[in-house]
Amino acid sequence: MTDFPITIFHNPACGTSRNVVAMVEAAGYAPTVVEYLQAGWTRERLLDLSARAGLPLRDLIRDKGTPAEALGLLAADVSDERILEAMVADPILVNRPIVVTPKGVALCRPSEAVLDLLEQRPAGFTKEDGEVVIP
């Protein structure tokens, strides 16, 4: 469906991200998939997505499997500017998947969160781990 554009900022190594892409496709959409580890981030895009999702930059930090803690980004007193600089320098620090549709922007963890951003849902969906999602 091209009249309902969907962009997914995706990491193919992430099961949650893969489930979101598959769920969107199962609903009949052809999303634009941005592999952000290769494409990278700009300050402007991260600030825009953060604002549109209603999430502070701190809530977009991925700590699992990243150098976030070693870089000191998880401390309560770290500035948004420092977080933003680190995310632009090392895209792995941004959690995923972030999904953009005409209905809004969200960090879709768990993957079922994407359903709130769609006009139509899949009839049913089974995640990679076998969990059945009944939208």
Catalytic residues: 14
| 98, β-bridge pairs | 9, 107
Half-sphere exposure of 6 (CA within 13 A, CB side): 28
CA trace torsion 21, 48, 87, 35 (10° rounding)? 30
Contact 53, 97 (CB under 8 A): no
